[in-house]
Amino acid sequence: MPTESARVLLAEDDKRLAQLLASLLESDGYTVTVVHDGQRALHEAMTGRFDLLLFDRGLPGREGLDVIEALRAHGNTVPALILSALGNPSDRVEGLQRGAEDYLAKPFDIDELLARLRVLRRKSAAPTDGLRVPAGTLFPQRHEVVTASGATIRLSERENDLLATLARRPGQVFTREELVDGVFADADETGVVDAYVHHLRKKLGRGCVLTVRGVGYALGAAR
């Protein structure tokens, strides 16, 4: 199996610690994206680009565990490790119950952190599951749809993120506002969603995304 470097989303508001962690992770072979608040962490994680989430619990904007909980509610299953100054057994239990795979109290030993991340990485490195979409199978980490006949259709990052969001919850109708929040964090109006639905339909056929009038969009029904 090719050993592609794992992508970690690191959310830590202590900028010095974030920088230190990022360089330690990078020297251990990870590709690291750093964010400093919970809102940003949610938006980034929703893109589906990451193999591991490493979140501080006490984040401005939105608490780390809240973000994990929101991600799980949206069907995002990327393994998450929570770092927290709160290290009582009850805090750990809460962390695990709310969707984190692992929980490490600060201050922590860096070797222990790296060892735990390797364990989580093994979970996420299991053969990348594709997501079923009407045109075939979407592989969100590769930004590709492989059709039933074996053809590969490349998607742009945002097309990929939008389709992956819909495909993770087939049957769920998303409002434009929810999709802007989850996929187009830097956009301030919902027209951008319509534009990307249009792009997706051009590439994958009209049926790939379903319009639910007066509500929003859902993944198209499989044929």
Which residues of the chain form contacts with Ca ion (CB under 5 A)?
Answer: 13, 56, 58
Residue 165 · residue 74 · CB < 8 Å: yes
Q: Which of 59/162 has CB closer to Ca ion?
A: 59
Closest separation between CB of residue 66 and Ca ion, Å?
13
What distance, in Å, lies between the first and last C-alpha atoms of the chain? 32
Q: Give least dist CB 140 to Ca ion, A.
A: 29
Compute the least distance from the CB of residue 68 to Ca ion, in Å: 15
| CB distance 122 to 3 below 8 Å | no
Query: In a 3-state reduction of DSSP, which class is residue 27?
Result: helix
- Of all helices (H) and strands (E), which one includes residue 104? strand 102-105
Name beta bridge partners: 83. Answer: 56, 104
Q: How far is the CB of 59 from Ca ion (least distance, A)?
A: 6
The residue (of 44 and 159) whose beta carbon lies closer to Ca ion is 44
Q: Least CB distance from residue 62 to Ca ion, whole Å?
A: 12
**Considering beta carbons, is residue 58 or 87 the nearer one to Ca ion?**
58
Q: Which of 123, 21, 11, 29 is nearest to 66 (CA)?
A: 11
Instruction: For Ca ion, give the closer residue by CB, 58 or 75.
Output: 58
| Cβ proximity to Ca ion, 56 vs 159, nearer residue | 56
In sequence order, what are the residues at sequence separation of 6 or more whose Cβ sits closer than 8 angstroms to the Cβ of residue 143? 154, 155, 156, 157, 159, 160
